[in-house]
């Protein structure tokens, strides 16, 4: 008999496809159980019929120990949601870990896990569980949420009495021991850790991200060698060899031990060395040598923490959480190496950056506190030059001007290369209205180098301050040259500087072509400044259209208003310079009225700090000094709040009404009285129209 080989191949292929389909069908019926731990994530089909509604039907307690509760969850999931997730949370104590269920359409049940509240070492009870169903990968992030009456009685440490022997809490200095649930019989394993001397409340269970991966033992700084030996002895007792070990230098891992975590890139072989590591009275140096890791010294850790904290303070802006994180890092760095002076300098900076009341112009509690920190640092090292640089700045803000000069001179005598010295001296001169001397200090930064560590930032902000002084004092040629220098020397700052450069060109210069080139660059960089500068540019285009082509000018105006929601702010910016005022003169005469500009807000509200020329220009074009903003304040009220006496005088001259009340019954006169500004009250009587 002759067998056709092609037909045999076709039959075998068909048979293979049938087997694969059958396997796929069988997998949909079979309970999905984690391969390493049956309590990780169990989904058992109770009824595979289509669910008519999406709901968590019941939540029942299966069992409970000191660390976690196992809960049976029955749910139904409609086809419209597809796969998703069930999450549980104790309503009374939300600060805890949980392991939910991966859901699928139909009616099913499975085991979810809740961990005890991390700050409750004594027994306590909860009676309400929040159940939530959602799809973390779609927009319908919460398509079911309900509370359930489920009583949980969490035991205290007395439940672990058989394990609390003479070793109890001898490792209490350890911040956290995280046992991953891929450790076999992890609850019994945790009990053995307690018998070794670990505090029960410091032990928590986490879900293994990769249950089938090789587990590892990870430990951070501040973990005694005897503590690690106790963990290794427990692993041997439970006959669970862990193949990898890793020493983590991350400060977030300091004081922590992670047992069963997926190994990191720096992990090294462990179990073949375990007997050597368990040698009695082994030194820390020998332990690290055996596992092939180099331990960081306290001084090295302090330096790393200082650098991280400094970077956060440099770029945190208004992030309260980041500033708090930086302060914690600095406190740890100070404890690790109390002789490292840069840490104290950053602590002083963190104080003034965390206080909203801090001002470079007026004394504040933050300045006093920062000054004290710096003076204490000088007791440790009186010859650290950079301490005097910041100390002089604090003394300037406290109006201790002679002391500030002495500090600046001392920093210079000690040979500081810190460019903040120029910035801070300039601030001293501005306090004394010596603008030319302030500019002379900042002009030293023009030819300075960015190569000296930490000076790039001080040079950048010093040059920005200088260009503002140039514009304010009408040194426009110098301002344009300096803007170009900043643009060339600090390309990484383009998103921050392009907008200001374009504003300058459109407001004070006639180089519209260069402004357009910079706008194209801003588009390439996706600069956040685009709406603002495009709105300004569209107004300049409207002004350049011949009077006979009013339709085109209107299109440019429409674009200008569409680009920027705060259109009055754009108009106020253009009013600050001669070129910008020319643009506004044209458009306000031909295609736009001030009433239309102020339909979305007050222009004057954006010009309270501007020159009298800017204020007079806007008021002469019918800007309304009595227009209420969204906060219920008129420009006159805002000028009183900000103590801009000259601005108050100008606004009164153009019809500002000190008696005009907002919906809260507040007016400028009442505000002045609350601020005890009798001079303003007298001004209202003599100059108000």
Task: Check which CATH number belongs to the domain holding 651 and give it.
Answer: 1.25.40.20
What is the rounded CA–CA span in Å between residue 127 and residue 151? Answer: 4
Same domain as 143, residue 244: no
Does 404 reside within a domain? no
Same domain as 659, residue 636: yes
Binned at pLDDT 50, 70 and 90, residue 247 comes out as very high
pTM for the model: 0.69
Stretch 221-245: mean pLDDT, rounded?
94
Same domain as 172, residue 150: no
Does 433 reside within a domain? no
Range of the domain at 112: 42-155
Same domain as 203, residue 174: yes
Does 166 reside within a domain? yes
Binned at pLDDT 50, 70 and 90, residue 333 comes out as very high
Please, are residues 126 and 92 in contact by the beta-carbon 8 Å criterion?
yes
Same domain as 78, residue 185: no
Domains: count for the chain: 3
Same domain as 259, residue 170: yes
What is the rounded CA–CA span in Å between residue 466 and residue 616? Answer: 26
Does 225 reside within a domain? yes
Does 422 reside within a domain? no
Is residue 430 scored above 90 in pLDDT?
A: yes
Same domain as 175, residue 211: yes
Could you tell me which residues are beta bridge partners of residue 98? 114
Tell me the pLDDT tens digit for each residue of 18-61.
444 444 443 333 333 232 333 333 333 344 455 568 999 999 99
Is residue 94 scored above 80 in pLDDT?
A: no
461 is written with which tokens? Answer: 């902000």
Q: What is the dihedral of CA 347, 348, 352, 354, to 10 degrees?
A: 10
Residue tagged 């963190």 (tokens) = 350
How far apart, in Å, are the Cα atoms of 652 and each of 303, 374, 448? 57, 46, 47
How far apart, in Å, are the Cα atoms of 558 and each of 238, 315, 587? 75, 37, 12
Among 100, 125, 155, identify where a domain stops.
155
Strand-pair category, 124-134 with 106-115:
unpaired
- pLDDT > 90: percent of the chain: 62
Does 578 reside within a domain? no
Is residue 688 scored above 60 in pLDDT?
A: no
Among 138, 155, 172, identify where a domain stops.
155
Q: Phi and psi at residue 525, in whole multiples of 5°?
A: -90, 0
What is the rounded CA–CA span in Å between residue 571 and residue 155? Answer: 67
Please, are residues 636 and 649 in contact by the beta-carbon 8 Å criterion?
no
Same domain as 180, residue 62: no
Q: What is the pLDDT of residue 492?
A: 83
Among 132, 155, 178, identify where a domain stops.
155
Q: List the CATH number of the domain containing 124.
A: 2.60.40
Q: What is the largest CA-CA distance in the chain?
A: 124
Does 73 reside within a domain? yes
């Amino acid at each position: 008999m002759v067998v056709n080989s092609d037909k045999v191949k076709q039959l075998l292929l068909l048979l293979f496809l049938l087997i694969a389909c059958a396997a796929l069908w069988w997998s949909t019926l079979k309970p999905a159980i984690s391969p390493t731990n049956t309590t990780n994530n169990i989904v058992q089909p109770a009824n595979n019929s289509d669910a008519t509604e999406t709901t968590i039907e019941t939540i029942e307690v299966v069992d409970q120990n000191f660390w976690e509760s196992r809960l049976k969850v029955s749910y139904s999931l409609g086809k419209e949601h597809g796969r998703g997730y069930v999450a549980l949370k104790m309503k009374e104590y939300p600060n805890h870990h949980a392991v939910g269920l991966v859901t699928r359409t139909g009616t099913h049940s499975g085991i979810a896990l809740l961990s005890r509240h991390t700050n409750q070492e004594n027994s306590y009870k909860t009676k309400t569980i929040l159940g939530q169903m959602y799809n973390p990968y779609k927009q319908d992030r919460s398509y079911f949420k309900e509370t359930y009456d489920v009583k949980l009685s969490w035991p205290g440490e007395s439940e672990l009495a058989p394990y609390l022997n003479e070793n109890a809490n001898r490792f209490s200095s350890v911040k956290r021991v995280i046992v991953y649930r891929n450790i076999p019989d992890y609850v019994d394993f945790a009990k053995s850790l307690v018998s070794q001397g670990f505090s029960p409340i410091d032990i928590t269970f986490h879900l293994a991200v990769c249950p089938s991966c090789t587990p590892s033992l990870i430990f951070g700084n501040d973990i005694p060698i005897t503590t690690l030996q106790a963990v290794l002895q427990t692993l041997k007792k439970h006959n669970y060899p862990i193949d990898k070990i890793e020493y983590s230098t991350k400060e977030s891992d300091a004081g922590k031990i992670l047992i069963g975590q997926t190994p990191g890139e720096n992990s090294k072989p462990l179990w073949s060395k375990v007997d050597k590591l368990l040698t009695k009275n082994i030194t820390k140096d020998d332990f690290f040598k055996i596992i092939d890791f180099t331990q960081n010294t306290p001084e090295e850790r302090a330096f790393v923490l200082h650098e991280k904290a400094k970077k956060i303070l440099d770029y945190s802006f208004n992030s309260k959480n980041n500033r708090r994180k930086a302060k914690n890092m600095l406190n740890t760095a100070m404890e690790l190496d109390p002789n490292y002076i840069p840490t104290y300098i950053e602590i002083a900076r963190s104080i003034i950056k965390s206080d909203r009341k801090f001002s470079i112009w007026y004394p504040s509690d933050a300045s006093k506190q920062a000054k004290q920190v710096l003076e204490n640092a000088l007791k440790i090292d009186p010859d650290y030059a950079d301490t005097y640089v910041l100390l002089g700045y604090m003394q300037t803000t406290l109006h201790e001007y002679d002391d500030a000069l002495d500090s600046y001179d001392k920093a210079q005598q000690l040979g500081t290369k810190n460019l903040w010295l120029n910035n801070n001296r300039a601030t001293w001169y501005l306090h004394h209205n010596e603008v030319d001397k302030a500019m002379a200090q900042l002009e030293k930064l023009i030819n300075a180098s960015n190569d000296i560590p930490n000076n790039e930032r001080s040079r950048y902000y010093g040059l920005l301050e200088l260009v503002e002084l140039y514009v304010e004092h009408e040194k426009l040629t110098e301002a344009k040259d300096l803007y170009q220098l900043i643009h060339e020397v600090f390309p990484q700052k383009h998103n921050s500087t392009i907008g200001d450069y374009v504003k300058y060109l459109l407001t004070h210069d006639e180089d519209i072509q260069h402004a357009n080139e910079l706008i194209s660059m801003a588009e390439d960089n996706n600069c956040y400044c685009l709406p603002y500068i495009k709105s300004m540019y569209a107004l300049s285009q409207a002004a350049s259209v011949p009077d006979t082509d009013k339709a085109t000018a209107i299109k440019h105006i429409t674009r200008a208003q569409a680009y920027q929601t705060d259109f009055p702010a754009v108009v106020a910016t253009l009013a600050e310079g001669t070129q910008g005022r020319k643009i506004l003169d044209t458009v306000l005469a031909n295609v736009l009225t001030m009433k239309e500009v102020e339909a979305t807000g007050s222009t004057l509200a954006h010009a309270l700090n501007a020159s009298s020329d800017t204020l007079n220009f806007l008021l002469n074009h019918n800007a309304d000094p009595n227009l209420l903003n969204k906060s219920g304040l008129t420009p006159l009220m805002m000028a009183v709040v900000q103590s801009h006496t000259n601005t108050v005088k100008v606004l009164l001259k153009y019809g500002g009404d000190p008696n005009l009340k907002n919906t809260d019954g507040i007016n400028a006169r009442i505000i002045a009285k609350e601020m005890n500004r009798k001079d303003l009250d007298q001004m209202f009587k003599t100059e108000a129209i």
